[in-house]
Amino acid sequence: MPSYVVIGASRGIGLEFVRQLACRSNTIVFAIVRNPQGSTHLDAAIGHLENVYILSGDVADYGTLERAAKQVSDITGGGLDYLIHNAAKLDMSVFNGFDDYSSMEDMDNDFISAFRVHSLGPIHGITAFLPLLRIRASHTKKVIVIGSCAGDPKTVLAYNIASMVAYGMTKATAHIATTKFAIKLKEEGFVVVTLDPGMVNTTATAPPIQLDALEEVLENFKETEIQIETQGQRPEDSVAAQLRVIDGLEVAHNGLYLSHLGGEYHAPS
């Protein structure tokens, strides 16, 4: 019975990962969320499924992930097959540019908060669940960190993205952290990758306060010469594509930044 942990599963892409994985036959899925009681979208989508467990875990608090890993181990008998790390800090400040903060202190605090989630978060998540992944000695152990083109310098230039400074810079750090783990774990047969989901329309489960700021970011995209569908994919379409990539992961993919469309991610041109 393949087992999956999805960290950051309360809404959007993470929620859709849980839903689609739970619909597969003979799977067990663990949805790790910061606030299980407040994860109303997740509970409505999969609360009736017997093969899904909603567990508490905050990527900025390593101890909570250790406790979640212990709960997973107790349920699976000690092992884990797949870890999908999707946690992100997606409050209103995600769209801020350098000039959008009220003070330098305000900016510093936002960067530090984003760093704890996007940069340290994957390190905490992988480290907490690594002992469980190592138990699956007869299988290829797969770790997938959901990346973002906002953390890719060539994409930032191509799409004219002057905003999303804390988000983009700390997601770039996550890409590096994932690559470091790929190097660290390659001799153990792990496949550790960053996976870009493409542009995804998660407004159905997003807090309303984010939507106006999102429109401004999309207007910047429209000012470039690159053709892009600013409405974004539906979460179910992006996740279906990502799962095809995940299902096909091999040792040769270890350390790569992959596109949801298959193959390595490349900035638009």
Q: Torsions phi, psi of 254, nearest 5?
A: -55, 130
- Whether 171 is a known active-site residue: answer yes
Q: Cβ distance 57 to 7 under 8 Å? A: yes
Active-site pick, 3, 148, 163, 259:
148
Query: Among 53, 84, 82, 90, which Cα is nearest to 68's?
Result: 53
What span, in angstroms and rounded, lies between the C-alpha atoms of 267 and 269? 7
User: How many other CB atoms are found less than 10 A from the CB of residue 114?
Assistant: 25
Nearest Cα to Cα of residue 125 among 75, 167, 181: 181
The Cα-based distances of 182 to 80, 140, 148, 238 in angstroms read: 17, 13, 18, 24
Q: Give SS3 for 232.
A: coil
Catalytic residue among 39, 93, 171, 257: 171
| CA–CA gap between residue 240 and residue 244 (Å, rounded) | 6
> What tokens does 63 get?
């101890």
The residue among 197, 245, 241 whose CA lies nearest residue 82 is 245
- Long-range contacts for 165-169 (Cβ within 8 Å, ≥24 apart)? 165/96, 165/97, 165/98, 166/93, 166/94, 166/96, 166/107, 166/110, 166/111, 166/113, 166/114, 167/88, 167/89, 167/94, 167/95, 167/114, 167/118, 169/111, 169/114
Catalytic hit among 101, 167, 257, 265? 167
Catalytic residue positions, numbered? 148, 167, 171
